[in-house]
């Protein structure tokens, strides 16, 4: 019995903006369950008094002078876009 339901798998796929087939959902259910069981070995460790490390270097916010610099040319920026017109990138309509 998987600890992750099909509903959860589909919810996660929606959050990840990933279309999945019914067959893929079953496969992910199995594989996620395996990986999560594997990850649960971390619970053997008592980490109540341990601070999380998000980053290995002892760094705080890095600031620089706020100086205006030229940006990239618009025609360059849109050249990789699948659909563009007059320097704008086109997507399916968002508002009805």
State the residue for tokens 């940006």. 71
Q: Is position 12 an interface residue for other proteins (rule: CB under 8 A)? A: yes
For other proteins, which is the closer residue by CB, 6 or 81? Answer: 81
* Residue 25 near residue 6, CB atoms below 8 Å: yes
Count of positions on this chain that bind other proteins (CB under 8 A): 51
Q: Distance between CA 86 and CA 72 in Å, rounded? A: 16
Q: How far is the CB of 10 from other proteins (least distance, A)?
A: 11
- H helical segments located in the chain: 6-15, 22-39, 74-77
> What is the contact surface with other proteins in residues (CB under 8 A)?
4, 8-9, 12-20, 24, 28, 31-32, 34-36, 38-39, 41-45, 47, 50-57, 59, 62, 64, 72, 76-77, 79-83, 89, 91-94
């Amino acid at each position: 019995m998987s600890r992750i339901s099909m509903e959860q798998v589909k919810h996660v796929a929606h959050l990840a903006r990933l279309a999945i087939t019914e067959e893929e959902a079953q496969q992910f259910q199995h594989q996620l369950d395996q990986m999560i069981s594997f990850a649960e070995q971390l619970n053997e460790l008592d980490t109540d008094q341990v601070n999380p490390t998000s980053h290995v270097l002892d760094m705080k916010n890095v600031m620089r002078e706020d100086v205006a610099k030229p940006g990239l040319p618009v025609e360059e920026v849109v050249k990789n876009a699948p659909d563009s017109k007059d320097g704008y990138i086109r997507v399916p309509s968002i508002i009805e």
